A and B are shown apart, each in its own frame.
Chain A
Amino acid sequence: MGNLFRLALVLAGKDLRLELRTRTSIISAAVFAALVLIVFNFARDPTAVATLDLAPSVLWVTVAFASVLAMNRGFLVERENAAFDGLLLAPVPREALFLGKYLANFAFVMLVEAIALPLFVLFFNLDLSHALGGLVLTMLLATMGFVAVGTIFSAMVVKTRFAELMLPVLLLPFMVPPLILAVKTTVPLFAGRPLSEVVDGLRFLAIYDIVFLTLAVLLFPAVVDE
C-alpha cells in the first residue's frame, strides 16, 4: 500500500515537473479562467443584479470550465511519441498509474483555482476573509470528486478523435452534483453564515468523492489494459 502511493507520487511528480518546465497548460488555463471572469462581469447588469447574488455561480462556472480545460492535458501529453505505452510497460500497478495521474490533475486544477480565486475577489470586489476557510474546504472537496471522473475520462477520450471536445461532453453531467452542492455551500458562506450550517453539503461532497474515486480506481484497468 505504501509502495503504491510512493509510485503514484513519483508519477505525479513527473507530470508536475513537466508542467512547471513548459508552463504552457497552466498559463493558458489561468488566462482562460481570468477571461471567463471578465466576460461574466460584462454579461450582467450591475444595477439590476447584486454582485453577491451572482458571485457563487460565477465562481463555480469558471472553476468548472477551467478544470475541464486543465484535465484534458493529463493524457494528451502521453500521446506524443507513444509515451503512454512506455508507462504501461513499466512494472507499476495500474492503480498507481491512475493515482499518479489523479494527484497530478488534482494539484493542477487546485493551482488553477488558486489563481482564479484572487482574481474573482478582485473583479467582483468581495470581502471573503470570513468565508475563506470554508470556501477552500468546499473547493478541495468538490475538486477531489470530479477530478477522479475527469482523470479516467481523459484516459478514454485521448484515444478518440476530437478528444478536446469529447471530454466536456462526457464530464459535465458528472460535474453537476458537485457543482450544485458547491454552489449551495458557497451561498451561505458568502452571506457570512458559520461553517456548521453547510456541514450537510460538505458531507454529501465527501460521499461523492469517496464513491467516484473508488469507482475510478476500480475501472481504470479496464480503460488501459489491451
Chain B
Amino acid sequence: MTAAVSGARSVINRGLVLTTLGLLGVAGVMVLALGFTPVEATQGLAQKIFYVHVPAAFTALWVAVPATACAGLLYLWLHDPRLDRFAAASAEVSLVFCLVVLVTGPIWARPIWGAWWTWDGRLTLTLFLFFLLLGYQTMRAAIRDPVERARFSAVLGAMGLVLVPFIHLSVYLWRGLHPKPIVLKPGDPSLPPEMLHTLLYGLGAALLLYVGFVTLRYGIQLAQDQREAADAR
C-alpha cells in the first residue's frame, strides 16, 4: 500500500520535472522567436504567433488525439487499466492544446484575415475536435464504474478518430482560407532556415510539455485510483 502510493508519487514528481522543462522550453521558444528570428515580410510581428500555434496544433492533432484513440483500442483488447489512465490523461491534455490553438488562431487571424473566425476546414475541424474532447470529459465525469468508463471512453475515442477525416473532407468542399502546409508537404520546406529552426524548437517544447502534462495527469489519476481501491478495502 505505501509502496504503491510512493509509486504514484514518483510518477507525479517525474511529471513535474518534465512539465517544468517543457514550460522553460516554451519560454525559450518565445525568446528565440522574438529576438533571434527574422520578422516575416508581409505579416510582420503577427506571424510570431506561428511558433506557438503550429506546434500546439501539431501536438494535439497528430500526437495527442491519435494516442488517445490508440490507447483506447488497445484497452478494449488488453483490458489494462494503465491504458485507460493514459488515454484519459492524453485526452485532457489534447483539450488544453486545442484550446491554445483556438485562442492563438483568432489573435493572428484578426490582423491578417481581418476576421476573428472563418468556417474554414481546419478551423472547423479543430473546433469540433475541441467539442468531441469536451464530450469525452463530460461522459467520463458522468460514469462512476471505472471499467465501464474505460470501455465507453475507448469506444468514443475510436469513433472520434474516424470522424476527424470526415469533418475535414466535408468542410473542405467549401474553399478554405487557411495557409497551406509549408513544412509537412512534398518537397523542401518553404521556410527560411532560421524560421524553420525556431518552429522545430517550438515543436520540441510542445511535445515535451505534452509528455510532462500526461505524466503528471497519469500520476494523479494513479494516486486517486489507489486511494479508491484502499478505501474500498
Contacts and interface: CB of A to CB of B under 8 A. Distances in A.
Interface of A: 149, 152-153, 156-157, 159-162, 166, 169-170, 172-174, 176-177, 180-181, 184, 204, 208, 211-212, 215-216, 219, 222-223
A204 B131 CA distance: 23
Interface string B111-152: 000000000000000001001101100110011000010011
Contacts of B76: 219, 222
A177 B162 contact: no
Secondary structure dominating the interface of B: helix
B36 interface: no
Given A177-B163, A219-B155, A219-B159, A156 B170 contact: no
24 contacts: A152-B155, A152-B159, A153-B156, A156-B155, A156-B156, A157-B139, A160-B142, A160-B143, A162-B142, A166-B139, A170-B135, A173-B132, A174-B159, A177-B167, A177-B170, A181-B170, A208-B166, A211-B166, A215-B159, A216-B159, A219-B155, A219-B158, A219-B159, A222-B155
Contact of A173 (B135, B154, B170, B171): B135
B139 A170 contact: yes
| Residue of A149, A159, A184 contacting most chain B CB atoms (<10 Å) | A159
Secondary structure dominating the interface of A: helix
Contacts of A181: 170
Interface in B144-202: 148, 151-152, 154-156, 158-160, 162-163, 166-167, 169-171, 173
Given A176-B170, A204-B170, A160 B139 contact: yes
| Residue of A157, A174, A181 contacting most chain B CB atoms (<10 Å) | A174
B4 to A, nearest CB: 26
| Residue of B76, B169, B170, B173 contacting most chain A CB atoms (<10 Å) | B170
A176 B148 contact: no
A180 to B, nearest CB: 5
Contacts of A149: 159
B152 A173 contact: no
Nearest to A207: B166
A173 B155 contact: no
A161 B170 CA distance: 33
Contacts of B169: 177, 204
Contact of B156 (A170, A180, A204): A170
A180 B125 CA distance: 13
A181 B167 CA distance: 10
Contacts of B152: 156, 159, 223
Nearest to A223: B155
A169 B135 CA distance: 6
Contact of A215 (B131, B151, B158, B170): B158
The 8 residue pairs across chains A and B that have the minimum distance between CB atoms: A160-B142, A177-B170, A177-B166, A180-B170, A170-B135, A156-B152, A219-B155, A173-B128
Contact of B151 (A162, A166, A176, A223): A223
Contacts of A152: 155, 159
B46 to A, nearest CB: 30
Contact of B142 (A161, A184, A212, A219): A161
A95 to B, nearest CB: 15
A211 B142 contact: no
A223 B139 CA distance: 14
A166 B167 contact: no
| Residue of B148, B155, B160 contacting most chain A CB atoms (<10 Å) | B155
A172 B134 CA distance: 12
Contact of B163 (A157, A169, A173, A216): A173
Contacts of B128: 173, 176
